[in-house]
């Protein structure tokens, strides 16, 4: 049975979707844009946006009882592919700081991200 995951430690959904769905041994987290869950503000630089998006991802998977080491797949959406190297550095540090292996990943440039964010990150985690 699917369980809906919701936490106030990550921003509320800005559309008709949930933060994540837990199938018991697999978690599907919706894409996270870099909104601060407390203030609703978004950093301006892509480095800080990537950090906030990953912090939001971590808050959601933690609320569901998963860890960063449980992440098996990520998808990164960039407004500008020229930010690839900067986001990679933040992404790499995030997994190293959380003592986790790098998961499978896709990274693509898209025409536009909600709220004109520069980055959005979604994950799949498994136990």
Provide the annotated active-site residues.
107
Left if phi > 0, otherwise alpha if psi is -120 to 50, otherwise beta: which for 24? left
Quote the tokens at residue 88.
């990679």
Rounded CA separation 98/61 (Å): 13
Q: Are 73 and 103 in contact (CB under 8 A)?
A: yes
Beta bridge partners of 108: 77
Phi (first) and psi of residue 97, to 5 degrees: -60, -25
């Amino acid at each position: 049975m699917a369980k809906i995951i919701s936490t106030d430690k990550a921003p509320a959904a800005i559309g008709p979707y949930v933060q994540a769905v837990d199938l018991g041994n697999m978690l599907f987290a919706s894409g996270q844009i870099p909104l601060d869950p407390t203030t609703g503000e978004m950093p301006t630089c892509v480095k800080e946006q990537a950090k906030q998006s990953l912090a939001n991802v971590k808050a959601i998977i933690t609320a569901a009882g998963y860890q960063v080491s449980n992440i098996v797949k990520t998808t990164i959406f960039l407004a500008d592919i020229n930010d690839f190297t900067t986001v990679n550095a933040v992404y790499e540090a995030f997994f190293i700081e959380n003592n986790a292996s790098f998961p499978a990943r896709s990274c693509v440039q898209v025409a536009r991200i909600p709220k004109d964010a520069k980055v959005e990150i979604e994950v799949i985690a498994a136990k």
